[in-house]
Amino acid sequence: MGKYIVKRVGMGLLSIFVVATLTFFLMNMVPGGPFVAEKSISKAAQEALASKYGLDKPIMERYFTYITDFVKGDMGYSLRQRGRTVSDIIFSKFPVSAGLAGVAVAVALCVGIPLGCLSAYHRGKFGDRFIIVLATCGIAIPSFISSVVLLYTFGSRLNLLPTIGLNTFKSYIMPVTALAIYPAAYITRLMRSSLLDVMGQDYIRTAKAKGLAGFKVMFKHALRNAILPVVTYVGPMLAGLMTGSFIVEKIFTIPGLGREFVSSITNRDYTMIMGTTIILATLIIVANVIVDILYKIIDPRINLK
């Protein structure tokens, strides 16, 4: 186990380095620059800004500077939010997005797993069909539509829920719902198909032949084997959501990292792009390690090497 963790950390660092390098060169290849869009400033002023942030230097030199600074823990200043460092921005926005994502994923699991089980248990019957239709809608409806519908009904028409920010418990309801619909629907379908697959296994027949009741067969013998695909899906999905959902944050006016990420790209805020990308990569790698460890806990056959 210890050896495994050391190995995974090494691999993770290497992956992050590769991601950082690729992002750095790709983003510099894209036309435009952080100050190009600002028509109000003169050519001379633009050049002055570029030289202030070192953008006039050759790309290889900038790359090595960035990497050495990064290793020292310095992600630089944002090019567009003058005077704020990238770390500042990330550390103030990340907890907002991560909290929202955590709640949304918890909700998705609490809804998706039981619905998937129920659906598999009543396979082919009305309940199953109903849940499948529901899940298919959940997967098909994009979050901007569900967000707008929620906002319109519960926010403006019924005036039940706050439409802006994340200040009270109530204000979490709509953004969490909007974020959780897709993963909940996906988990429902994943859980259902995985359970049905497991229910056809020989050891399930053994469990039935012992005289166990249907729910015991399902919840003791099938569920633990069937949950592995859900675990695999949830890890990276959580990591993705934690770096923020641009659409939901925009619609509900939530000061999260998702909006920063997108606007940093449109603004060519190079240092912010690097910062957020590296955070996302790190989270995905960490999530995968956690998934592996969970796998080991759930299924004793798995050997972590």
Partner 1 sequence: MKEKLLDIRDEYLSFFTPAGEIKALNGVSFSMDEGEVLGIVGESGSGKSVTAYSIMGLTAYPGRLVSGSIRFNGHEVEKMSEKELRKMRGNEVSIIFQDPMTSLNPVYTIGNQIEEVILLHTDKTREEAKKRAKELLELVGINEPERRLKQYPHELSGGMRQRVMISIALACEPKLLIADEPTTALDVTIQAQILELMKELRSKLDMSIIMITHDLGVVASMCEKIAVMYAGHIVEYGTADEIFYEPGHEYTKGLIKSIPKLNSSEPERLVPIEGQPVDLLNPPKGCPFAPRCGSCMKICLREMPEKTELSETHYSYCWLHRKAEFEKGGGAE
Q: Residue 300 interacts with partner 1 (CB under 8 A)?
A: yes
Least separation in angstroms between CB 206 and partner 1 = 5
- Quick one: which segment of 71-79, 189-197, 207-215, 249-257 binds partner 1 (CB under 8 A)? 207-215
- Check the CA dihedral 83-85-91-97 and report its sign: positive
Q: Residue 305 interacts with partner 1 (CB under 8 A)?
A: no
Least separation in angstroms between CB 117 and partner 1 = 17
Among 130, 210, 215, 253, binds partner 1 (CB under 8 A): 210
Among 3, 159, 211, 266, binds partner 1 (CB under 8 A): 211
Nearest to 238 by CA among 188, 200, 290: 290
Least separation in angstroms between CB 125 and partner 1 = 12
- Quick one: which segment of 135-143, 145-153, 158-166, 220-228 binds partner 1 (CB under 8 A)? 220-228
Q: Count residues binding partner 1 (CB under 8 A).
A: 20
Q: Residue 195 interacts with partner 1 (CB under 8 A)?
A: no
What are the residues whose beta carbons fall under 8 Å from the beta carbon of 112, sequence distance 6 or more?
183, 184, 185, 186, 187, 188, 190, 191, 230
Which tokens go with 284? 């995905």
229 to each of 36, 65, 107, 140, how far by Cα in Å? 46, 42, 18, 21
Centre a 10 Å sphere on the Cβ of residue 194 and count the other Cβ atoms it contains.
20
Question: How far is 289 from 16, CA to CA, in rounded Å?
Answer: 14
Nearer to partner 1, 64 or 215 (CB): 215
Q: Residue 125 interacts with partner 1 (CB under 8 A)?
A: no
Among 153, 168, 206, 253, binds partner 1 (CB under 8 A): 206
- Residue numbers of the site for partner 1 (CB under 8 A)? 201-203, 205-214, 221, 224-225, 298-301
